Copies of this chain bind each other. A is one copy, B any other.
Amino acid sequence: LRKGFPEVIFGLGKTREQIAGILEKMVPKENVILVTRIDPTTADPLVAHFPDAAYFPDARLLRIQKTAPDITGTGNILVITAGTSDIPVAEEAALTARAMGNRVDTLFDVGVAGIHRLFAHKEMIRQAGVIIVAAGMEGALPSVVAGMVGAPVIAVPTSIGYGTSFGGMTALLGMLNSCASNIAVVNIDNGFGAGYMASSINHVGVDKDTAL
């Protein structure tokens, strides 16, 4: 039994029956299980049936957690969003990273068109060990954040926007072309991947038996 390390089921396109079937087998053996991309009507009966289950509607994530995972990660992971519409992606990242044994803080709606909102939190940003930044539209926030710190920044483009935002493609391209260098990018709306990668980073140098 890998203590504290979650099993993850990709919920999209799976029926309630299929997910229930997988969970029945996993629950006896695992401490934490996540089901990502699961909608409320699929999740609600599962929450009712499985003890220790909770559904997070913003993140569209179902979590079964017997005991809170030990904190094994080195530093704090900070999850930032440019707007309020990016919060669901950020929540998916935060929940994933917490399930993997990390301390996680959040800072939402501090996008670049009113940059003073970001600067009001300078200290919190500078203290973070790893930073995740979720942004849609022009996707400029990760560049600004990365320019303020030495820590690694995971940029998550979101599909928020219209017209030439092309479902997040514009944000993605902006992040890949950042003039900051301590940045790497994950797929559009991939909050899960961002949280997982941040946790992986936050466990570099951690004794493998402890972490996993």
Measured CB to CB, the residues of A under 8 A from B are 8, 12-13, 74-75, 82-83, 85, 111-115, 129-130, 137-140, 143-144, 146-148, 150-152, 154, 157, 159-190, 192-194, 196-197, 200-205, 208, 211-212
Contacts and interface: CB of A to CB of B under 8 A. Distances in A.
A19 B108 CA distance: 18
Contacts of A175: 138
A148 to B, nearest CB: 7
Given A139-B138, A140-B140, A147-B114, A183 B177 contact: no
B140 A201 contact: no
Closest 6 A-B residue pairs measured CB to CB?
A163-B188, A140-B140, A184-B184, A74-B205, A113-B147, A170-B173
Nearest to A152: B200
Contacts of A8: 181
A188 B200 contact: no
A114 B178 CA distance: 12
Nearest to A5: B150
Contacts of A202: 204
B140 A163 contact: no
Contacts of A182: 196-197, 200
A185 B188 contact: no
Nearest to A82: B179
A194 B186 CA distance: 14
Contacts of A208: 150
